[in-house]
Each structure stands twice: as C-alpha cells, then as structure tokens.
C-alpha cells in the first residue's frame, strides 16, 4: 500500500497518473496536460516533442491554451496589448507590428519591470509618508487654531453675560432677603401695638419682593445697551468663525465639492472693450453698473491682471440675474466680436446654460462633472478656418434631462500646463460644484487668449420703446435708446438739459463684479 502524502490543495497534479497522482513538474501547452517527473521523460527525451511542445511551470489550464479566433496554441505574449496570442495573431493580424515575446522571455522582462516599479513606488511611499506627516501637522494646527479661537470667543461671551446678569440678580435678591427678614421680625413681635406699627413697612417689603423677576435680565440702561451691542458684535464674529471651522472640515473631507471661496484680489480688473448706453465702470474697475432706463445691458470686458501667472489663472465673477452673459477665454483681437475668433466659455442665455468651444482642423473635447451632460445644439459659427460650437449643459433629474440652474457666482480656473479650462458654480463660502472642464486640445500657440466677460446679447435692438422723463425746469424728454429728444422742440440732447441739469434718472444696479 502506498504512503498517503498530504499536499496543498493548490498543487497541480499529474494528469497521466492513474492512481496516487503525484505533483506535476511541468505543463505541456500543446498537449494541454500536466506531468510528473516520470511521465515528463518522453517530452524531454524525444527531439520532436522537445522542439514543438512548449513546457511551462505547472499550471491549471482550464481550456485557455488556444486562441479563440484561430484555434491555435497560444505561444507568444504581446507586450503592447498585454495578452497571449497565437502565431497567426503575431504574424497576420492586429498584433503583427507589436512587441512580441515568448512566454519565458515575457515572464522575465515583466518580472524585472515589476521589481523596478516596486522600487519607484516604495520611494514614492516613503516621500508620501513624510508629506502626509507634514500635511497632517499643518491641518491639525490650522483646525486647532480655529477651534481654540472659537471656544475662547464663546467662553468669553458666556462669562461676560453671566457675570453681568449675576450682578443684576444679586441686587434683586436683596429685596427678597429684606422681605424675609421683615416678615420674620414681625412674626416674632408679641406686642400688638408695635406689630401694627411694623406692618406697614413689612407690607411694602413684601410687595417689593413679589415684584422681583429674577429672569428678566439686566435692568434697562446704558450698561445693558452696551452689553447687548457687544454680544451682537462678538456673536457675528463667532458665526463667521464657526462657518470658517465647519467649512474647513468640509473642504478636508470633500475637497472636490467644497473649497473656500478666496477673493481674487485687486490685481484683477476689468478692461472695457465696449460699453452700451447706461453702462459704467467703478473707480477700481472691478464692478460694472447699468441704468436700465438708458438702454439694454450690453458690454464686453477683458479681465486683466497686474501679476504674471505661472501655471494657472483664476477669476470669480458675480453676475446679474437679469442679464445674459458669457465668460471664459477669447482671442484678444476679436473680443469686440466673438464670431471673428476663437472662444472657450460658459454662456447663460434664454435661461439656459451652455458651453462654447472653438476648433481648428480638429475638435476640442470637454468633460463635465458627474451628473451633468452636454448636448450639442448643432449651432456652429464659422470664421476663417474656425468653428465655434454651442452645447447645452443638462443633468439627470427626476423628470429626465433638466437644465442646469443659473450659478450665483462663477469660478473659472485656466490651467496652463494641463491646457484645461474649468468652470465651477459657487453657492456659498465653501460650496463648489464643477459645471464643466474643457480640454483645449487644439493648437492655441498662435492664439492670444485672454479672460473675458460679455454681458447682454450681441445684437441690440436700437429701436427700443421710447421712455419719457421730465426735467425740473418743465421740459419733457424722450429716450430712444441712444439719445434724448425734447418733445416740444424736437431737438436732440446728449447728457444735459438746456438748463444744465443732467438728463434722465440715475438709478443704477450692479450687473457684474470681480469677486
């Protein structure tokens, strides 16, 4: 009786052993069998078998040794496609120009490659561990400072309020103690005459004590008013600190959708290319105003920076709900008329959000954030060797495809090395949602692209309905969208009445701001 040998369940056994199957030494890819040392001898000693039957380490073949397309033995490994192929695949079909290796050679080369990559990843892991320690220390210190500051502010405000109210309550407690002493003294008095003489004062003390309200806070006066104002001011600061704290936590946990809205700073200004009637710019060149009485909102402005950007440029604009707008990148030479040059932008028009991309010879590709979808509207503006395409941006809602709502603020990030232009919707100090990222795959080396904002529609109807305005001197003027007309004489005026007063109402609203 043969000796029973305990073997690993994963051990490959000889397919030719009838009883007491022994562990396999090699597997023949052509015969599709695994053989022990004894049964392997024929393959090792027969020249024909030795030359034409490839042997490998013992393996479970599971019927995968032949090409599914040609039915031939898999003998080579394609390094380009990382798959096993037969001789027909290697010579005749799609792999014929690829880097082909025998199994043993491929095994050796790929094993060396894995070892090299393992060293690289190990070095990166070591570096990342150091970076992670620094990052964790920095984040803990930042959040720690924020939380400590908030706790200190809350504690200080609590102590000030409690101390002040405690002093006031203590003063009111005197009346209770006085009434208690008076009642005890009256109750101890046995002489009727003296008791009756005392009772009037005791009654006053009791009535005064009954009127005491220990929960009414501080007594009216300058001290209470000053403390209320201090609490209000410090409370507002605490709300901001708390908002900053939980916003930092959201950014830490979900940085993709939560980034602190950092103002762009005074180094960014608007450079007007065109301003329609009633349009004006603030002194710091960061706000755009519009007087709706003087005409339809229309302006094109470049966004210029006094600083030189090395790897990216970022701007945030707050835009009016009443105006259509477009923001992004355009050719500087064609800023006044976007149809004449390249443009990459986000457009809000007719209560719909869409993207604008320009291609020359080859198309530009764009990607959207999760849940959003770009639908090509088929609108193309063609210029000299240029095609600008407009595409609606939607998301999958409860009722199917729904339009993306108008962003309150638009944050734009132009990444120079990656050649991408990203647009984000800002709804709060930390809430940020990606709308779309455009990949600028076309050659833009010859295009002088600059950030821009366009307000209103390009084609402005100059024959707007006339509006009338009466000057304090009695003259009545009509505004036709471009100038004032004296209704009595029919004469036209620009800016001032004949009496010298500036014509028209001067109620303006801000329609665009660099945040």
Domain co-membership, 429 together with 474: no
Q: Same domain, yes or no, for 445 and 322?
A: yes
| SS3 state of residue 118 | helix
Q: Quickly count: other Cβ atoms within 10 Å of residue 291's Cβ.
A: 17
CATH number at residue 422: 2.60.120.920
Average pLDDT over residues 399-425: 87
Which of the two residues, 245 and 82, has the higher pLDDT score? 82
Q: What is the structure's pLDDT at 329?
A: 93
The pLDDT of residue 8 is 64
Same domain, 291 and 384: yes
> Where is average pLDDT lowest: 8-12, 23-27, 325-329, 451-455?
8-12
If pLDDT is split at 50, 70 and 90, which confidence band does 311 have?
confident
Residue 300 lies in a domain: yes
Give me the mean pLDDT over the 358-379 stretch: 58
Residue 457 confidence (pLDDT):
62
Given 455, 481, 498, the domain boundary residue is: 455
Query: Residue 250 above 50 pLDDT?
Result: yes
Residue 172 domain flag: yes
In the predicted model, what is the mean pLDDT of the chain?
79
Q: Are residues 327 and 434 in the same domain?
A: yes
Q: Read off the tokens for 270.
A: 């608007």
Range of the domain at 495: 467-514
**Confidence band for 2, pLDDT divided at 50, 70 and 90:** very low
Predicted pLDDT of residue 134: 73
Measured distance CA(319)–CA(408) in Å, rounded: 7
pLDDT tens digits, one per residue of 211-231 = 777 777 777 778 888 888 888
Alpha carbon 262 to chain centroid, angstroms: 13
Q: Are residues 276 and 237 in the same domain?
A: no
For residues 389 and 308, state if they share a domain: yes
* Mean pLDDT score, 284-290: 89
Question: What pLDDT, on the 0 to 100 scale, is given for residue 370?
Answer: 52
Arithmetic mean of pLDDT, 359-370: 55
- CA-to-CA distance for 491 and 368, rounded, in angstroms? 55
Domain count across the chain:
3
27-37: average pLDDT: 85
Query: Which pTM was predicted?
Result: 0.52
Task: Supply the pLDDT for residue 83.
Answer: 87
Residues 305 and 431 in one domain: yes
User: Which residue's structure tokens are 């600190």?
Assistant: 241
Distance CA 10, CA 26 (A): 15
Q: Pick the last residue of a domain from 434, 455, 476.
A: 455
- Rounded percentage of the chain residues whose pLDDT exceeds 90: 10
Q: Decide which of 201 and 384 is more confident.
A: 201
Asked if the model's pLDDT at residue 378 lies above 60, the reply is no
pLDDT at 10: 76
Q: What is the distance between the alpha carbons of residues 308 and 416, in angstroms, rounded to a whole number? A: 13
- Of 63-67, 478-482, 504-508, give the lowest mean pLDDT range: 504-508
Same-domain status, 392 and 480: no
168 inside domain: yes
With a cut of 80, say whether residue 406 has pLDDT above it.
yes
Question: Nearest 5 degrees, angle CA 149-CA 153-CA 156?
Answer: 135
111 lies in some domain: no
pLDDT at 64: 67
- State the DSSP string of 282-338: -TTS-EEEE-GGG----EEEEEEESS--SSEEEEEEEE-SSS-EEEEEEEGGGTT-G
Q: What is the pLDDT of residue 410?
A: 93
- Predicted local distance difference test score (pLDDT) of residue 295: 67
CA distances from 312 to 85, 355, 414, 463 (A): 46, 21, 5, 43
Do 431 and 503 fall within a single domain?
no
Q: For residue range 289-303, list pLDDT tens digits in order.
A: 887 666 678 899 999
Q: Which of 21-35, 217-231, 248-262, 300-314 is predicted with the least confidence, judged by mean pLDDT?
A: 248-262
How many residues are recorded in the chain?
515
* Same domain for 301 and 182: no
For residue 343, is pLDDT > 70?
A: yes
Q: Within a domain: residue 406? A: yes
Query: Is the residue at 324 inside a domain?
Result: yes
Confidence category of residue 373, pLDDT binned at 50, 70, 90: low
The predicted structure's pLDDT at residue 348: 92
Q: pLDDT digits over 91-131, tens only?
A: 887 787 888 888 888 888 899 889 888 888 877 776 666 67
Domain co-membership, 397 together with 492:
no
For residue 163, give every residue at least 6 positions away whose Cβ sits within 8 Å of its Cβ, in sequence order, or none: none
Residue 65's Cβ-count burial label (10 Å; 0-12, 13-18, 19+) is: buried
Quick one: which H or E segment has residue 208?
helix 192-210
Query: What burial class does residue 463 get, using C-beta atoms within 10 Å of its C-beta: 0-12 exposed, 13-18 middle, 19+ buried?
Result: exposed
Q: Is the pLDDT of residue 377 over 70?
A: no
Q: Does the pLDDT of residue 404 top 90, yes or no? A: no
Q: How confident is the model at residue 454 (pLDDT cuts 50, 70, 90)?
A: very high
Cβ atoms of residues 1 and 13 within 8 Å: no
Token reading at 19: 């009883």
- Asked whether the predicted pLDDT for residue 502 surpasses 60, the reply is yes
Instruction: Give the integer Cα–Cα distance in Å for 55 and 454.
Output: 71
Tell which of 431, 455, 479 closes a domain.
455
Query: Do residues 430 and 308 both lie within one domain?
Result: yes
DSSP 515: -
Ranges 22-31, 57-66, 127-136, most confident: 22-31
């Amino acid at each position: 009786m043969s000796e029973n040998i305990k073997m690993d369940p994963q051990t490959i056994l000889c397919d030719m052993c009838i009883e007491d199957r022994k562990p396999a030494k090699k597997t023949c890819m052509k015969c599709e069998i695994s053989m022990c040392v004894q049964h392997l001898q024929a393959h090792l000693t027969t020249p024909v078998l030795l030359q034409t039957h490839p042997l490998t380490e013992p393996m479970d073949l599971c019927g995968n040794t032949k090409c599914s397309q040609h039915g031939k033995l898999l003998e080579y490994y394609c390094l380009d496609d990382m798959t096993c192929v037969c001789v027909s695949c290697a010579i005749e079909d799609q792999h014929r120009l690829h880097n082909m290796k025998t199994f043993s050679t491929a095994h050796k080369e790929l094993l060396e490659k894995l070892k090299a990559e393992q060293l690289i990843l190990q070095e990166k892991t070591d570096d990342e561990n150091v970076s992670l320690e620094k990052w964790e220390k920095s984040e803990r210190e930042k959040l720690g400072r924020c939380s400590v500051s908030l706790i200190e502010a809350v504690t200080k405000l609590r102590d000030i309020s409690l101390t002040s109210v405690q002093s006031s309550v203590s003063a009111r407690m005197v009346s209770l103690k006085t009434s208690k002493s008076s009642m005890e003294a009256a109750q101890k008095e046995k002489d009727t005459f003296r008791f009756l003489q005392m009772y009037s004062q005791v009654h006053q003390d009791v009535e005064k004590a009954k009127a005491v309200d220990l929960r009414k806070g501080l007594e009216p006066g300058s001290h209470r008013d000053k403390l209320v104002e201090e609490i209000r001011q410090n409370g507002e600061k605490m709300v901001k600190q708390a908002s900053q704290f939980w916003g930092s936590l959201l950014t830490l946990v979900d940085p993709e959708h939560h980034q602190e809205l950092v103002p762009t700073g005074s180094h960014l200004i608007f450079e007007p290319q065109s301003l329609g009637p009633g349009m004006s710019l603030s002194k710091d060149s960061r706000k755009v105003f519009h007087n709706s009485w003087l005409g339809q909102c229309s302006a094109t402005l470049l966004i210029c920076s006094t600083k030189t950007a090395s790897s990216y440029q970022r701007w945030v604009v707050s835009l009016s709900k009443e105006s259509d707008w477009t923001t992004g990148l355009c050719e500087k030479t064609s800023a006044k008329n976007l149809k004449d040059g390249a443009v990459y932008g986000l457009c809000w028009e007719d209560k719909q959000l869409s993207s604008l991309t320009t291609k020359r010879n080859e198309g530009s590709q764009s990607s959207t954030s999760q849940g959003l979808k770009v639908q090509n509207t088929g609108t193309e503006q063609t210029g000299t060797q240029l095609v600008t395409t407009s595409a609606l941006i939607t998301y999958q809602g409860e009722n199917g495809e729904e339009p993306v709502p108008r962003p309150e603020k638009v944050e734009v990030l132009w990444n120079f090395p990656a050649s991408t232009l990203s647009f984000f919707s800002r709804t709060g100090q930390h809430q940020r949602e990606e709308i779309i990222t455009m990949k600028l795959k076309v050659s833009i080396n010859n295009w002088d692209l600059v950030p821009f904002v366009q307000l209103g529609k390009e084609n402005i109807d100059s024959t707007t309905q006339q509006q009338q305005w009466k000057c304090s001197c009695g003259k009545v003027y009509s505004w036709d969208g471009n100038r004032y007309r004296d209704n009595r004489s029919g004469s036209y005026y620009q800016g001032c009445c004949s009496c010298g007063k500036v014509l028209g109402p001067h109620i303006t609203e801000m329609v665009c701001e660099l945040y």
